[in-house]
Amino acid sequence: MSGKSVLKRLDWFSVLLYICLVFIGWINIYSSTFTDEATSIFDFASLYGKQLFFIGTSAVAIVIILALEANFYERFSSLFYIISIVLLLGLFVFGKTIAGATSWYNLGFFNLQPSEFAKVATALALAKYLSDIQTDIKRQKDQMIALLIILLPAFLIIPQPDPGSALVFFALIFVIFREGLPLYYLGIGSMIVLIFILTLKFGTIWVAIILGLLLALFLLFKKPSFKVPIIPVSLIYIAIILFSLSVNFVFNSVFEQRHRDRFGLWLRLEKDPKKLEEIRKTIGYNTYQSEKAIESGGFSGKGFLEGTRTKGDFVPEQHTDYIFTTVGEEWGFLGTATVVILFTLLLLRLIHLSERQKNHFSRMYGYGVISILFVHYFINIGMVIGVLPTIGIPLPFFSYGGSGLLFFSALLFIFLKLDANRLNELT
Amino acid sequence: MRKLLLSSIILLVGLTFIGRLSYLQIFSFSPNQILEDPAIKAVYDYPERGYIYDRNGKLLVANQPAYDVMVIPREVKPLDTLEFCKLLGIDKEKFISQLKKARIYSPRLPSVLVPQLSKEDYGRLQEKMRRFEGFYIQKRSLRYYDTNSGANVLGYISEVNEWDLERNPSYAAGELKGTTGIEKEYESILRGRKGVKYIQKDRFNRDIGPYKDGALDTLPEQGKQITVTLDKTLQEYGEKLMVGKHGGVVAIEPASGEILALISGPTYDPALLVGRERSKNYSKLHYDTIAKPTFDRSILASQSPGSPFKTLNALVALQEGAVTPETTIKCYNGFYVGRRKRGCHCGGGNRDLNSGIYLSCNAYFAGAFRKIYDLFPTSAEGMDVWEKHMKSFGLGSYLGYDLPTGRPGRIPNKEYYNRIYGSKRWSSSTIISNSIGQGEVEVTPIQLANMTAAIANRGHYFTPHVIKKIGGEDISIPKFTEAKHTSIDKKYFEPVIEGMANVYHKGTARWLQIKDIEIAGKTGTVENFTRINGVRTQLTDNSVFVAFAPVDNPQIAIAVYIENGYYGSRYAGHIATLMIEKYLKGEITRADLEKRMLEKTLEDEYAKPYSGEPFKINERVW
Least confident range from A71-85, B69-83, B343-357: namely B69-83
B325 and B400 co-located in one domain: yes
**Cα of B33 to nearest chain A Cα, Å:** 7
Q: Which residues pair with B559 in a beta bridge?
A: B250, B546
Asked if residue B405 is part of any domain, the answer here is yes
| pLDDT tens-digit readout, B139-197 | 778 899 999 999 999 999 888 888 887 888 778 777 788 999 999 999 999 998 888 88
3-state secondary structure (DSSP) of residue B249: strand
B247: left (phi over 0), alpha (psi -120 to 50) or beta: left
A327 and A298 co-located in one domain: yes
| pLDDT tens-digit readout, A289-324 | 888 889 888 898 888 888 878 877 788 888 889 999
A397 and A322 co-located in one domain: yes
pLDDT the model gives residue A185:
79
Q: Which residues pair with B140 in a beta bridge?
A: B66
Asked if residue A12 is part of any domain, the answer here is no
Tell me the C-alpha distance between B475 and B473, whole Å. 6
Query: Which of B5, B29, B37 is facing A308, going by the closest CB pair?
Result: B37
Mean pLDDT of A209-235: 82
Asked if residue B356 is part of any domain, the answer here is yes
**Cα of A217 to nearest chain B Cα, Å:** 26
Mutate to test the interface with A, among B5, B7, B21, B207 (most CBs of A within 10 A): B21
Mutate to test the interface with B, among A172, A277, A333, A363 (most CBs of B within 10 A): A333
| pLDDT band at residue B10 under the 50/70/90 scheme | very high
Q: Is the pLDDT of residue A38 over 60?
A: no
| CATH code of residue B415 | 3.40.710.10
Asked if residue A273 is part of any domain, the answer here is no
Q: What chain A residue is nearest to B36 in terms of C-alpha separation?
A: A296
A80 and A170 co-located in one domain: yes
B360 and B443 co-located in one domain: yes
A157 and A304 co-located in one domain: yes
| pLDDT tens-digit readout, B391-425 | 999 999 999 999 999 999 999 999 999 999 988 88
Contact A313 B202 (CB under 8 A): yes
Q: Is the pLDDT of residue A83 over 70?
A: yes
A303 and A339 co-located in one domain: yes
> Where would I find the beta strands (DSSP E) of A247-302?
none
B14-49 burial, b at 16+ Cβ within 10 Å, e below that, comes to bebbbebbbebbeeebeeeeeeebebbebeeebbeb
Q: Is the pLDDT of residue A60 over 70?
A: yes
Asked if residue B418 is part of any domain, the answer here is yes
Residues 6+ apart with CB under 8 A from B364: B329, B331, B346, B351, B352, B353, B355, B356
Q: Is the pLDDT of residue B35 over 70?
A: no
Mutate to test the interface with A, among B1, B12, B24, B32 (most CBs of A within 10 A): B24
**Cα of B195 to nearest chain A Cα, Å:** 21
pLDDT the model gives residue B285:
92
pTM of the shown model: 0.65
B596 and B476 co-located in one domain: no
Contact A355 B20 (CB under 8 A): no
pLDDT the model gives residue A1:
45
Tell me the C-alpha distance between B595 and B207, whole Å. 64
Mean residue pLDDT of chain A comes to 86
**Cα of A331 to nearest chain B Cα, Å:** 11
Asked if residue B273 is part of any domain, the answer here is no
pLDDT the model gives residue A125:
94
Q: Which residues in chain B have their CB less than 8 angstroms from residue A340's CB?
A: 14, 17-18, 21
- State whether the Cα torsion B228-B229-B231-B235 is positive or negative: negative
Q: Which residues in chain A have their CB less than 8 angstroms from residue B5's CB?
A: 177
pLDDT the model gives residue B562:
96
Contact A309 B37 (CB under 8 A): yes
Q: Which residues pair with B532 in a beta bridge?
A: B535
HSE at residue B19, side-chain half, CA atoms within 13 A, is 7
pLDDT the model gives residue A238:
87
Count of domains for chain B = 2
Tell me the C-alpha distance between B454 and B583, whole Å. 19
Q: Is the pLDDT of residue A2 over 50?
A: no
Question: With contact defined as beta carbons under 8 Å apart, do B618 and B566 qualify?
Answer: yes
Mean pLDDT of B455-481: 93
Contact B10 A351 (CB under 8 A): yes
Query: Which of B2, B25, B212 is facing A178, going by the closest CB pair?
Result: B2
Query: Which of A177, A328, A378 is facing B13, going by the closest CB pair?
Result: A378
**Cα of A107 to nearest chain B Cα, Å:** 33
Asked if residue A154 is part of any domain, the answer here is yes
pLDDT the model gives residue B151:
94
Q: What chain B residue is nearest to A281 in terms of C-alpha separation?
A: B203
B407 and B544 co-located in one domain: no
E strand or H helix at A44, and its extent? none
Question: With contact defined as beta carbons under 8 Å apart, do B19 and A333 qualify?
Answer: no
3-state secondary structure (DSSP) of residue A109: coil
Mean pLDDT of A380-388: 91
Contact B3 A351 (CB under 8 A): yes
Mean pLDDT of B10-24: 93
Contact A344 B10 (CB under 8 A): yes
| pLDDT tens-digit readout, A272-291 | 777 777 777 777 888 888 88
| pLDDT tens-digit readout, B531-583 | 888 889 999 999 999 999 999 999 999 999 999 999 989 999 999 999 999 99
Question: With contact defined as beta carbons under 8 Å apart, do B113 and B121 qualify?
Answer: no
B477 and B535 co-located in one domain: no
A171 and A313 co-located in one domain: yes
Q: Which domain holds residue B548?
A: 531-554+570-600
Contact B25 A314 (CB under 8 A): no
Contact B20 A336 (CB under 8 A): no
Contact B22 A333 (CB under 8 A): yes
Q: Which residues in chain B have their CB less than 8 angstroms from residue A298's CB?
A: 25-26, 29, 33
Q: Which residue has the higher pLDDT, B518 or B106?
A: B518
Asked if residue A236 is part of any domain, the answer here is yes
| pLDDT tens-digit readout, A389-406 | 888 889 999 999 888 999
Contact A309 B6 (CB under 8 A): no
Mean pLDDT of B512-536: 91
pLDDT the model gives residue B33:
63
DSSP assignment of B280-328 equals HHHHHHHT-TTT-TTS-HHHH--B---THHHHHHHHHHHHHTS--TT--
Instruction: Using DSSP bridges, classify how beta strands B520-532 and B473-474 pair: parallel, antiparallel or unpaired.
Output: unpaired
Q: Is A54 exposed, middle or buried (0-12, 13-18, 19+ CB in 10 A)?
A: buried
A331 and A205 co-located in one domain: no
Q: Which residues in chain B have their CB less than 8 angstroms from residue A387's CB?
A: 16-17, 20
Tell me the C-alpha distance between B17 and B15, whole Å. 5
Asked if residue A49 is part of any domain, the answer here is yes
Asked if residue B565 is part of any domain, the answer here is no
Q: Which residue has the higher pLDDT, B549 or B28?
A: B549
A67 and A120 co-located in one domain: yes
B499 and B374 co-located in one domain: yes
Asked if residue B338 is part of any domain, the answer here is yes
Asked if residue A15 is part of any domain, the answer here is no
Residues of chain A with pLDDT > 70: what percent?
97
A329-344 burial, b at 16+ Cβ within 10 Å, e below that, comes to bbbbbebbbebbebbb
Q: Which residues in chain A have their CB less than 8 angstroms from residue B10's CB?
A: 344, 347-348, 351, 374
Q: How many CB atoms lie within 10 A of CB B120?
A: 9
B483 and B542 co-located in one domain: no
Q: Which residues in chain A have their CB less than 8 angstroms from residue B14's CB?
A: 340-341, 343-344
**Cα of B196 to nearest chain A Cα, Å:** 17
E strand or H helix at B140, and its extent? strand B135-145
- Interface residues on B facing A, Cβ-Cβ cutoff 8 A: 2-3, 5-7, 9-11, 13-14, 16-18, 20-22, 24-26, 28-29, 33, 37-40, 200-203, 208-209, 211-212
Nearest to B342 by CA among B245, B429, B441: B429
Q: Is the pLDDT of residue B28 over 90?
A: no
A172 and A216 co-located in one domain: no
pLDDT the model gives residue B158:
87
Mean pLDDT of B484-508: 94
B179-213 burial, b at 16+ Cβ within 10 Å, e below that, comes to bbbbbbbbbebbbbebeebbbbbeeeeeebeebee
Q: Is B592 exposed, middle or buried (0-12, 13-18, 19+ CB in 10 A)?
A: exposed
B362 and B406 co-located in one domain: yes
**Cα of A332 to nearest chain B Cα, Å:** 7
Tell me the C-alpha distance between B355 and A223, whole Å. 119
pLDDT the model gives residue B463:
96
Q: What chain B residue is nearest to A353 in terms of C-alpha separation?
A: B3
Q: Which residues pair with B197 in a beta bridge?
A: B43
Peptide bond into B107 cis (omega under 30): no
| pLDDT band at residue A427 under the 50/70/90 scheme | very low
HSE at residue A37, side-chain half, CA atoms within 13 A, is 3
Residues 6+ apart with CB under 8 A from B83: none
Tell me the C-alpha distance between B310 and B435, whole Å. 6
Mutate to test the interface with A, among B2, B3, B6, B30 (most CBs of A within 10 A): B6
Tell me the C-alpha distance between B69 and B95, whole Å. 11
Q: In the listed set A236, A254, A272, which residue is the last one of a domain according to the structure?
A: A254
Mutate to test the interface with A, among B10, B206, B216 (most CBs of A within 10 A): B10
Q: Is B289 exposed, middle or buried (0-12, 13-18, 19+ CB in 10 A)?
A: exposed
Question: With contact defined as beta carbons under 8 Å apart, do A178 and A364 qualify?
Answer: yes
**Cα of A372 to nearest chain B Cα, Å:** 13
Tell me the C-alpha distance between B141 and B49, whole Å. 8
Helices (H), A34-172: 47-67, 71-75, 77-94, 114-131, 140-157, 163-170
B312 and B401 co-located in one domain: yes
pLDDT the model gives residue A342:
96
E strand or H helix at B561, and its extent? strand B556-562
Q: Is the pLDDT of residue B301 over 50?
A: yes
ipTM of this predicted structure: 0.89
Contact B21 A340 (CB under 8 A): yes
Q: Which residues in chain B have their CB less than 8 angstroms from residue A328's CB?
A: 21, 24-25
Nearest to A371 by CA among A19, A180, A120, A158: A120
Q: How far is CA B143 from CA B64, B130, B154, B165, in A?
A: 6, 29, 11, 22
Contact B16 A387 (CB under 8 A): yes
Contact A385 B5 (CB under 8 A): no
Q: How far is CA B329 from CA A328, B324, B363, B430, in A?
A: 95, 11, 7, 20
A153 and A193 co-located in one domain: no
Q: Is the pLDDT of residue A246 over 90?
A: no
Contact A296 B13 (CB under 8 A): no
Q: What chain B residue is nearest to A367 in terms of C-alpha separation?
A: B6
B458 and B545 co-located in one domain: no
The crossing angle, in degrees rounded to 10, of helices A285-297 and A273-281 is 90
Nearest to B317 by CA among B459, B443, B503, B496: B496
Peptide bond into B266 cis (omega under 30): yes
| pLDDT band at residue A426 under the 50/70/90 scheme | low
A173 and A194 co-located in one domain: no
Q: Which residues in chain B have their CB less than 8 angstroms from residue A355's CB?
A: 3
Tell me the C-alpha distance between B122 and B205, whole Å. 29
Q: Which domain holds residue A243?
A: 189-254
DSSP assignment of A330-389 equals HHHHHHHHHHHHHHHHHHHHHHHHHHT-SSHHHHHHHHHHHHHHHHHHHHHHHHHTTSS-
Q: Is the pLDDT of residue B123 over 50?
A: yes
B485 and B583 co-located in one domain: no
Interface size A-B, in CB pairs within 8 Å, comes to 105
Q: Which residues in chain B have their CB less than 8 angstroms from residue A367's CB?
A: 6
A38 and A158 co-located in one domain: yes
Asked if residue A275 is part of any domain, the answer here is no
Tell me the C-alpha distance between A346 and A16, whole Å. 9
Query: Which of A177, A295, A381 is facing B25, going by the closest CB pair?
Result: A295
Question: With contact defined as beta carbons under 8 Å apart, do B517 and B550 qualify?
Answer: yes
Q: Is the pLDDT of residue B125 over 70?
A: yes
B460 and B540 co-located in one domain: no
Query: Which of A174, A177, A340 is facing B17, going by the closest CB pair?
Result: A340
Asked if residue B595 is part of any domain, the answer here is yes
Q: Which residues in chain A have their CB less than 8 angstroms from residue B6's CB?
A: 174, 178, 351, 367, 370, 374
Asked if residue A23 is part of any domain, the answer here is no
